[in-house]
Amino acid sequence: MVNLRLQKAILEVVENQIRENNPPETRKTLDRLLKNGYSKSDAMKLIGSVVVVEIYEILKNKEPFNEERYVKALRELR
Domain ranges in the chain are 4-76
pLDDT digits (tens, 9 = 90+) for 6-17: 999 999 999 999
Amino acid at the residue 43 = A
Q: How much is the pLDDT for 2?
A: 78
pLDDT digits (tens, 9 = 90+) for 22-66: 999 999 999 999 999 999 999 999 999 999 999 999 999 999 999
What pTM does this model have?
0.93
Residues 39 and 1: their CA atoms lie apart, in Å, by: 22
CB 24 within 8 A of CB 59: no
CB 51 within 8 A of CB 7: no
Q: Give Cα 3 to chain centroid, integer Å.
A: 17
Amino acid at the residue 29 = T
Q: How much is the pLDDT for 9?
A: 97
pLDDT exceeds cutoff 90 at 1: no
